Chain A
């Protein structure tokens, strides 16, 4: 069965420092995509970054990068130069392409950025 695991319920980081949020996934299907979403206290889910299973290079979007290690089935999110506005819940999610478009989400990590 497909599964996403986020083992860090909560993380703290000092403003302006980098932080890594862990995500491991489980699937036997070779064709899939990995996504990270941010959910601030307002509740809206905000898309951050995407990595396809066949992508050779790690995805980057501004201060966000995805450390994709296929053999280890991990897709960690790295946030560089943390800002106070980065404080939120972060969810890792997976889409299996031959099983339609649904995303399977992990349990989330709550990130708190300290001034």
Chain B
């Protein structure tokens, strides 16, 4: 597709379960970003990749959160032992590179609800 694609769009899970959220960036974009947005708040940075490597993971809240991008395209955000506080919209974005002045292109997000 032409834009950033995120799946699933909605995920409901139980506390303690494992969750994977997938992001397919715009073709050719080497930089990929994950953000978390709680209700009424601005997006909060989690991690970004330049190519296959995590260039900055300083926003990951704890070691239950992990993200991969093994082939430099699709990325998966993995959350272990989910907690109710993890409920949020997880946004993925991509850009041509991380070093240009261009904007980030966002997907429509994956809404995670932890019961």
Contact = CB atoms under 8 A, between A and B. Distances in A.
A101 to B, nearest CB: 3
A100 B104 CA distance: 13
Interface string B87-103: 00101010101111111
How big is chain B's contact interface, by range? 20 to 34
Interface string B43-81: 111001010000110010000000000000000000000
A84 B4 CA distance: 27
Contacts of B109: 43-44
A106 B104 CA distance: 16
A43 B50 CA distance: 25
Interface string A22-54: 000000000001010100001111010010100
Nearest to B106: A45
Interface of A: 4, 6, 33, 35, 37, 42-45, 47, 50, 52, 91, 93, 95, 97, 99-108
